[in-house]
Amino acid sequence: MPRFAFQVEYHGAPFAGWQRQADQPSVQGAIEAALAKLEPDVPSIAAAGRTDAGVHGWGQVAHADLQKDWDPFRLSEALNYHLKPLPVAITACAKVADDWHARFSAVEREYLFRIVARRAPVTLDAGLVWQVSNRLDIDAMQEAAQHLIGKHDFTTFRSSICQAASPLKSVDEITITDHPYSGGQEVRFKVRARSFLHNQVRSFVGTLERVGAGSWESIRVKKALEACDRSACGPVCPPQGLALARVGYPDPPF
């Protein structure tokens, strides 16, 4: 059975997350339903990461084993036809080795979180950003973010329902940048690591936003990390500003 890798883009708002669920719409379920229109008895697809309800993706990667040796372009075109009108698209498709795995072959994931700071309601980016009222101090947030880079016990920044075997993770990069935005400010958080705990990025951003707003000192982030206590975390920010932007592989399939 030939194995195919897919790069997937999706708007997370209509879905209860990536993972297939019995009674709620999911991105995985939508793609598997489209695959079933092309071939009977398609097995479950595997993805690089399970994004939560409301979280978006333009760099998600999945794979599936199919009966037919499809031309990758024709396969992506057929899937996109059957995915309409859902906000899910296959943006790239490639045939890969039988032992290649979307999750286990990946060596890093990169998430992007967007905050818009302005008083006027967001219209064009509604559902794609977290809106706050006042400008944020980029330098203060970047200084505080340095405490979170490296290998740490991230219990403080881990959801209580996280299923990871250990809270120990290594964060390779947190870059916070300022961008012009009509009537306000757009702040982008790029967070890169091999893997993440449940709600880790949203916990980071919600905590760092408190620093940028002037409510927390930078040292409080360090103390929160060292506390290894979920109650020491700042607010967990809403999902709509978060997107899985890229998955890295030693030998990229696309």
pLDDT surpasses 80 at 105: yes
pLDDT given for residue 26 in this prediction: 97
CATH class for the domain made up of 108-247:
alpha beta
149 and 186 Cβ atoms separated by less than 8 Å: no
Mean pLDDT of the chain, nearest integer: 96
As a whole number of angstroms, the distance between CA 134 and CA 144 comes to: 19
As a whole number of angstroms, the distance between CA 240 and CA 226 comes to: 28
- From residue 44, how far is each of 66, 67, 79, 86 by CA, in Å? 11, 13, 15, 19
Q: Is-catalytic flag, 139?
A: no
CB atoms within 10 A of CB 96: 19
CATH class for the domain made up of 3-105:
alpha beta
pLDDT surpasses 80 at 43: no
Q: How many CA atoms lie within 13 A of 217 on its CB side?
A: 3
What pLDDT digit, counting tens, does each position of 63-86 carry?
999 999 999 999 999 999 999 999
pLDDT given for residue 143 in this prediction: 98
Q: What single-letter DSSP state applies at residue 18?
A: S
**pLDDT band for position 40 (cuts 50, 70, 90):** confident
pLDDT given for residue 179 in this prediction: 96
Measured in degrees and rounded to the nearest 5, phi and psi for residue 115 equal -115, 135
CB atoms within 10 A of CB 227: 13
So where are the chain's domains? 3-105, 108-247
Kindly name the residue from 23, 41, 52, 251 that is annotated as catalytic.
52
What kind and span of H or E run contains 61? strand 56-65
> Do the domains 3-105 and 108-247 sit in the same CATH topology, yes or no?
yes
pLDDT given for residue 42 in this prediction: 79
Helices (H), the chain: 27-38, 72-83, 138-145, 200-212, 218-227
What pLDDT digit, counting tens, does each position of 160-211 carry?
888 888 999 999 999 999 999 999 999 999 999 999 999 999 999 999 999 9
As a whole number of angstroms, the distance between CA 224 and CA 91 comes to: 40
pLDDT given for residue 45 in this prediction: 94
As a whole number of angstroms, the distance between CA 229 and CA 238 comes to: 21
As a whole number of angstroms, the distance between CA 16 and CA 193 comes to: 24
What pLDDT digit, counting tens, does each position of 120-173 carry?
999 999 999 999 999 999 999 999 999 999 999 999 999 988 888 899 999 999
As a whole number of angstroms, the distance between CA 116 and CA 229 comes to: 29
Peptide linkage before 85 cis (omega within 30 of 0): yes
Q: Which of 22-26, 101-105, 114-118, 216-220 has the lowest mean pLDDT?
A: 22-26
Which DSSP string corresponds to 165-189?
A: S-SEEEEEEEEEEEEEETTEEEEEE
